[in-house]
Amino acid sequence: MNFIDLFSGAGGLSEGFIKAGFDAVAHVEIDKYACDTMETRAAYHKLKEQGKLDIYKSYLKKEIDRETLFKNAGESIKNTVINEGISEETIDNIFSRIDSLLKEKNITEIPLVIGGPPCQAYSVVGRSRDPNGMKDDPRNFLYRMYIRFLTRYKPKTFVFENVMGIKSAQDGKIYENLKKEMQAAGYIIDNKVFDASKHGVLQRRKRVIIVGWRSDLPYQYPDLEEIDNNHMVSELLNDLPKLQAGETDTTGKYRNKPSDYLTNSGIRKSDDILTHHVARPHIDRDKGIYLKAIDRWYDKGERLKYTDLEKHEMTHKNTKSFLDRFKVVAGNLTYSQTVVAHISKDGHYYIHPDREQCRSLTVREAARLQSFPDDYYFEGPRTSAFKQIGNAVPPILAEQIANKMKKLLLTE
């Protein structure tokens, strides 16, 4: 049950497949910090397999450095993470490196390819901000690089994840061309839209999941059952130490016992060490606005609009659009708003629901909204960690998809 992960980001999609029992032959990703994150996660999985998670925990506690971590986990696991952009200039080298990994592990078949090209060229927001609607963006055609891997390794099936806008980009031409070119490569494809909030993730996040299979196989698109959810977003946050803007948790310990949701979802385990719980600093004006947004939500059940602010609180001239610039992550709902990469630049859209804390979310809180387990460590500066999280596939959703793909492959 081997797979290759393309455009893999920080590994959210891959994490779900690994938990379902698949083995990653290679991850290919252009972002250096995301690759560092995947290497660290590979070390976690290797040490867990060897019963040596105490070494990984020492790394989280900063008792050992990265070099010592990989001396124990094995330097060779870094080879599975290929830090390259996928292009005509790099693809032959990437093929060569993957072929070497296959030979080294004596693997003769890759039954599955997963991943999704960067979504900026397809996203509705991205197109609205670009004067030419992203029509000239080369990322529109990265799906062709994905097809090159299908052509070379001929997997039985593949999973291609992307934003909703991929179906409407360039009036639907991008998706139609993608479909035709995948069919020409020998694959039948189908797609469905999944909302992560209906699959155990406490976040409303809609994504298109394209599944393809070789035309010589009697497969069909697997069904994915929805999960009833009665859990509240507050269950993701209430066990964490309270922080003021600009503060850092240095204890590595939790404030309360985990909620049933945290335990049952596997996000928090009994022996976890808390990391990435660092609050961004905020100026007094923004903290005043945060309090207004929190109070309006909990007192009236209404979202604060930009036009509700006093003139001295406004910093933008645009009062006609993007009026929800300040938005509380409502603790009394069963899902949050979508966590996107822009959280790395702007915390106003992700305000913590506790007025006593009056700040935007920490990296760990954002990771929990995405359903990353607390033992998942994101390498790089805070802005990169936020970006990695915002671009990821929620691991809980990924695992459900992976289990269906596993069943598909095993019942051939």
Q: Which residue has the tokens 């197109």?
A: 127
Q: How far is CA 99 from CA 68, 88, 111, in A?
A: 28, 17, 15
Catalytic residue among 18, 35, 119, 166: 119
Are 269 and 57 within 8 A, CB to CB? Answer: no
- From residue 47, give the alpha-carbon distance in Å to each of 40, 42, 51, 54, 70: 11, 9, 6, 9, 10
Overall size of the chain counted in residues = 412
Please give the backbone phi and psi of residue 285, each rounded to the nearest 5 degrees, phi first: -60, -45
Alpha-helical runs (H) found in 185-306: 234-237, 260-265, 284-300
- Residue 323 is given by DSSP the state -
With b for 16 or more beta-carbon neighbours within 10 A and e for fewer, the 252-270 pattern comes to: eebeeebbebbeebebbee
Type of residue numbered 341: A
**Residue where the block lists tokens 């069909």:** 220
Whether residue 119 lies in the annotated active site: yes
Cβ-proximal residues to 122 (8 Å cutoff; 6+ apart), any chain: 134, 140, 162, 163, 165, 166, 169, 174
**Strand, helix or coil for residue 61:** coil
In terms of DSSP bridges, do strands 206-214 and 157-162 run parallel, antiparallel, or are they unpaired?
A: antiparallel
Whole-number Å distance between alpha carbons of 243 and 358: 9
Q: Which helix (H) or strand (E) holds 189?
A: strand 187-195
Which of left, alpha, beta for 37 (phi over 0: left; psi -120 to 50: alpha)? Answer: alpha
- 8 Å CB contact between 132 and 167: no
Residues with catalytic function: 119
